[in-house]
Structure 1
Amino acid sequence: MSNRLPPSWRGARRILCVRLDSLGDVLMCTPAMRALRASIPGCYLTLLTSPSGAAAAPYIPELDAVIGYRAPWMKHAQPATPSALQDCAKRLTDGPAVPGAGRFDAAVIFTSYSQSPLPAATLCHLAGIPLRLASCRENPYQLLTDWVPEREPERATRHEVQRQLDLVGHVGCTTADTALSFAVPGAAAACVKTMLEAAGIDPAAPYLVLHAGASAASRRYPIRHWQDLLGMLGARFGFPLILTGDQGERESLRPLTETRTGPVHSLIGKLGLGELGALIRSSRLLITGNTGPAHIAAAVGTPLVDLYAPTNPQPPLARRAPPAVPRRQLPQLPAQPLPARTPRLSRSPGAKYGIGGGRRAAGKRPGTAGAHRGCGPGLRLTGSVLTLSTCESAKDWAQTYNKNSSIPTSSDIISEFVGA
């Protein structure tokens, strides 16, 4: 047990980790969960999260159990019932799903700086959880027993992983291993191998994965630009191109599956989360938007091109770039007019970015060097991550792409990145 733990936390064994967002947000909390487990031996970690976040739990070895919950203060397609808060509080009052375990001893509430932890803290207070830790801008008074005053974004912005590590560090929990967790099951890897062989693809040879979907329309790269990208990749490299996406995206992504340029294979709607992780882990490169598979790539160490829509108030390099990868900086693009061709990469030799790393990432060291404040127009490549942001705000993202056929599709940049 860490000797840095406050006396009140030394007896905590049944700990509730609260992260009510989606898959990627949960994965960015896994180093902090590892810190809890390493610093409090014998603790039992339960994750309270959204249904989409709960899907990641079987692949996070730091977790012992998961509770799915559609919190009424979070965005969900289905409206919450009037009794949703009380029903969840009663479920939490029963404690972990272990016979005779008793109630939860503590709750750690993970949030981004733009979110308030107070609704979740109220839920945990109603459930009688005695220790409640969170970062909060307002004085929480009795809702939190361990309050970390919120300093972002006024005093710079941290990587999400570092933010959550700092939170648990407030109660003395630390870890030297700050990589994201996503454990690919052997059965999932075998299943993907079989599927690739059935499609005539050598699983041991290079292939690229393109995940074109996203839950929000504002975060989707336009289909016509994906089509341009498929054509470029097929013509220049000849690698098999594998399309992935959710079952509900089959129709919207159909134009990509019907392309006649390049060796394109569709696995849209055919993969579970474990199989998707296995496919990404074995690929040469993942190209996607700011969505869950980008974080899976960071966890398994696969190079990533992230077509980032500025839908989050945190700057993309501070929040989304996988940690500890070599950094290459692209020149800023003017807001208007947009150029017909994307400028070539400018390299920043030796520079590093991030705090932890995918399993293949080199040069681990703490820090958030190079984080950008704001989401101004530009193309940025940080080692294993290409971040594309051509709009001043999230509101302009879809409108700009729909109105301008001359916006660069990043083909030249991806070409150089794949060929590097």
Structure 2
Amino acid sequence: MMNWANCKNILCIRLDNMGDVLMSSPAFKALKESFGAHITLLTSSAGKGIAQFIPVVDEVITYDVPWVKGPSSDIDSFSEIVQVLKAKKFDGAVIFTVFSQNPLPSVMLAYLAEIPLRLAYCRENPYGLLTHWVPEEEPYTFIRHQVQRDLDLVKTVGAVTTNSQLVLTTGKEKKDFVLDKLSSLGLNLDKPWLIFHPGVSEVKRQYPSALWTEAGKLITENLACQVVITGGPAEVELCADIQNGIGADCISAAGEFSLGGFIELIDSAPLTVSVNTGTIHLCAALQKPVVVLYALTNPQHAPWKTTGKILTFPVEDNLQSKNEVLQFLNRSYFKDAAAGIRPHDIYLAVRSILIEGVAEPMPELIITNTNVLA
């Protein structure tokens, strides 16, 4: 069997969204630094955009699989992607997952593509599908941050890095262009401002727009601070509603920026307030403070190694996942969760960071029942 140290052409499979890809970037870096390998990322159409800003990724292949939430490629293309991967003659494949995901469908892609070394966490015995099997212990024995989980996975085959920060490059768009755009939308660049990012990809992580509005009013009226509401093209109406509710000292920039421009926007802002979505991981990668309105879904995905404040709220019963692993989390870790986040809580967090200069280091895990593993 080939040794991983001799792998010079490695496929990293991370088939989720932008934030997931970013959280795996230190592990990509470990593989590249340790083995001097060419790193190809196989990811979804939702995850591919961020890859161009991760310099340790040399090549990107996009494929939307049916076992991950989102659009999926047609069934005829499955054999085509196998042939694409096979033609690349990869030495090894690493499959990155959240602990609630079954890795074996993704492993099967690598197996059919005849990639000789295949590494992943797996709950059940994969037998010949994996050449390097790391038994899945989360969340029943312990829980780690996703970044640490991914680093620990590649460490089992000898890949390490001395810098575990998220990997992200800036400068693909000019910061002056971003600021000029904000000015043209009505932002006074001579006055303090911050970002509100309310949009989510899943309803269960949504914070009510009326409460966003109330928090915005408290901030603009009491802190003399402007609010820039951000979002993608599909969130223009949501952002406009919140902007209209806040009124003065608030603009909407939804749909105005490419991903590169959005990265520069976050890097320019003194503070971002966001739901737990890819935006908070951009903040972490850029080492910018963030206030997170964190729906209690997966506790692994706090912003990694940055500062700010996390405010949690429970997911409504009718929106809870049917995944048994996530149901275990809800029963065991989140049963003592607070009722929710008040707009005044957001206001106090913003005031503490912007006015009082108090930005706390982020916890690695979002756990409300801290004695559950005792």
Q: Is 2:25 the counterpart of 1:90?
A: no
Q: Is 2:235 the counterpart of 1:240?
A: no
Displacement after TM superposition at 1:196 (Å): 2.7
Displacement after TM superposition at 1:225 (Å): 0.3
State the distance in 1 between where 2:113 and 2:314 align. 45
Amino acid at match of 2:136: E
Q: Which residue among 297, 301, 321 is the counterpart of 2:283?
A: 297
Amino acid at match of 1:50: S
User: Any unmatched runs of 5+ in structure 2?
Assistant: 322-338, 357-374
* Matched residue, 1:272: 258
Matches within 5 A, 1:3-152: 8-41=3-36, 43-76=37-70, 78-95=71-88, 103-152=89-138
Q: Is 2:332 the counterpart of 1:408?
A: no
- The structure-2 alpha-carbon separation of the partners of 1:253 and 1:231, relative to structure 1 and needing over 3 Å to count, comes to same
- CA deviations over 1:131-182 (Å, ceiling 9, x no partner): 1110111111111111111111122100100000000000001011001122
Q: Is 2:342 the counterpart of 1:418?
A: no
Q: Helix, strand or coil for the counterpart of 2:46? A: helix
Q: Helix, strand or coil for the counterpart of 1:269? A: coil
State the distance in 1 between where 2:63 and 2:318 align. 27
State the distance in 2 between where 1:138 and 1:211 align. 39
Amino acid at match of 1:178: S
Q: Which residue among 346, 363, 388 is the counterpart of 2:312?
A: 388
- The structure-2 alpha-carbon separation of the partners of 1:388 and 1:279, relative to structure 1 and needing over 3 Å to count, comes to same
State the distance in 2 between where 1:73 and 1:253 align. 31
Amino acid at match of 2:313: S
- The structure-2 alpha-carbon separation of the partners of 1:204 and 1:35, relative to structure 1 and needing over 3 Å to count, comes to farther
Matches within 5 A, 1:334-345: none
Displacement after TM superposition at 1:394 (Å): 7.5
- CA deviations over 1:213-250 (Å, ceiling 9, x no partner): 11111111111001101101101112221111010111
Which range moved further: 230-239 or 194-203?
A: 194-203
Amino acid at match of 1:416: S
- The structure-2 alpha-carbon separation of the partners of 1:270 and 1:106, relative to structure 1 and needing over 3 Å to count, comes to same
Amino acid at match of 1:232: L
Q: Is 2:288 the counterpart of 1:288?
A: no
State the distance in 2 between where 1:45 and 1:296 align. 21
- CA deviations over 1:89-143 (Å, ceiling 9, x no partner): 1111121xxxxxxx11111100011111100110111111111110111111111
* Matched residue, 1:330: none
State the distance in 1 between where 2:340 and 2:173 align. 45
Judge conservation of contact 2:187–2:251 (CA < 8 Å) in 1.
Answer: no
State the distance in 2 between where 1:411 and 1:148 align. 40
State the distance in 2 between where 1:394 and 1:147 align. 36
Displacement after TM superposition at 1:203 (Å): 5.1
* Matched residue, 1:349: none
* Matched residue, 1:231: 217
Q: Which residue among 208, 220, 235 is the counterpart of 1:249?
A: 235
Q: Helix, strand or coil for the counterpart of 1:132? A: strand
Displacement after TM superposition at 1:393 (Å): 5.5
- The structure-2 alpha-carbon separation of the partners of 1:86 and 1:213, relative to structure 1 and needing over 3 Å to count, comes to same
Amino acid at match of 1:82: I
Which range moved further: 258-267 or 291-300?
A: 258-267
RMSD of equivalent CA atoms: 2.2
State the distance in 2 between where 1:175 and 1:394 align. 42
State the distance in 1 between where 2:77 and 2:66 align. 7
State the distance in 1 between where 2:340 and 2:118 align. 51
Judge conservation of contact 1:232–1:411 (CA < 8 Å) in 2.
Answer: no
State the distance in 1 between where 2:340 and 2:136 align. 42
Displacement after TM superposition at 1:86 (Å): 1.3
Judge conservation of contact 1:233–1:262 (CA < 8 Å) in 2.
Answer: no
Displacement after TM superposition at 1:85 (Å): 2.3
Q: Helix, strand or coil for the counterpart of 1:308? A: strand
Q: Which residue among 165, 171, 189 is the counterpart of 1:179?
A: 165
Amino acid at match of 1:47: L
Judge conservation of contact 1:230–1:262 (CA < 8 Å) in 2.
Answer: no
- The structure-2 alpha-carbon separation of the partners of 1:104 and 1:135, relative to structure 1 and needing over 3 Å to count, comes to same
Q: Helix, strand or coil for the counterpart of 2:238? A: coil
Provide TM-score, normalisation by structure 2.
0.84
User: Any unmatched runs of 5+ in structure 1?
Assistant: 1-5, 96-102, 324-356, 359-382, 398-404
- CA deviations over 1:351-398 (Å, ceiling 9, x no partner): xxxxxx24xxxxxxxxxxxxxxxxxxxxxxxx513232245768379x
Higher fraction of helix: 2
Judge conservation of contact 2:185–2:253 (CA < 8 Å) in 1.
Answer: no
